[in-house]
């Protein structure tokens, strides 16, 4: 059996207010660092990690480092777990987008629509699942922590639960949270969602 811990990066100063997508230079806030440290300590008490993988975004790498440190592990970067590319919405505030028809359309039908110039959620789900599936086939046992982003985690959880992507906003995946999925003979078992340790 292989255990996958899907970990959302810790909080930033603009989380919930700005659609920053892949905008560079977004770092963990003090609260985000506390969340990541608490998650790292809680994971160390429960599991022996075999690998820590991170999205290339700074906030994810910083979180991954705080997850890996208590177990003296290095962090590997995998583009497959990168944030959703939000295209022309990068850096815009959620308040500014509220009146946009494309914003409303996107949030009602995530399975069909992408941000202008951005990436469809189904493509995020496919790229992250392809990487995860390859890892499961190669490793087959152990515990792997993957530090990534809210939409990446929610899209994978919906896949494992057999639920449509349009239900993505029905899943809470808070900053610094851990969701556990076990794979036995390739079959996913979702053990926990949005577990928080602070």
Helix (H) or strand (E) holding 89: none
Strand locations in 114-186, DSSP E?
Answer: 142-148, 178-184
Residue 172 bears catalytic tag: no
Phi, psi of 44 (to 5 degrees): -60, -40
Q: Which of 83, 119, 149, 180 is catalytic?
A: 83
Please identify which residue in the block is written with the tokens 């996958």: 4
Residue 167 bears catalytic tag: no
Strand locations in 49-113, DSSP E?
Answer: 51-54, 75-77, 92-93
The terminus-to-terminus CA distance of the chain in angstroms comes to 28
Strand locations in 62-115, DSSP E?
Answer: 75-77, 92-93
Beta bridge partners of 144: 4, 51
- CB proximity list for 30: less than 8 A, separation 6 or greater: none
Q: Which residues are catalytic?
A: 9, 83
């Amino acid at each position: 059996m292989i255990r996958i811990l899907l970990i959302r990066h810790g909080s930033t100063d603009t989380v919930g207010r700005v659609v920053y997508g892949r905008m560079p230079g977004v770092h963990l806030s003090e609260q985000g660092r506390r969340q990541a440290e608490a998650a790292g300590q809680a994971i160390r008490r429960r599991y022996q990690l075999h690998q820590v993988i991170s999205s290339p975004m700074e906030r994810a790498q910083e979180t991954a480092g705080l997850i890996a440190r208590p177990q003296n592990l290095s962090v590997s970067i995998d583009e497959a777990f990168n944030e959703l590319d939000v295209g022309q919405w990068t850096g815009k505030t959620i308040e500014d987008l509220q009146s946009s028809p494309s914003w409303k359309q996107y949030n009602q039908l995530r399975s069909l629509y992408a941000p202008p110039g951005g990436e469809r959620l189904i493509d995020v789900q496919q790229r992250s699942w392809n990487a995860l599936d390859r890892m499961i086939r190669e490793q087959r046992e152990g515990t792997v922590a993957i530090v990534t982003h809210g939409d990446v985690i929610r899209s994978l959880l919906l896949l494992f639960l057999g639920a449509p992507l349009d239900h993505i906003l029905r899943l809470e995946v808070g900053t610094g949270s851990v969701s556990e999925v076990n794979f036995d003979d390739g079959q996913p078992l979702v053990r926990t969602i949005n577990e928080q340790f602070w």
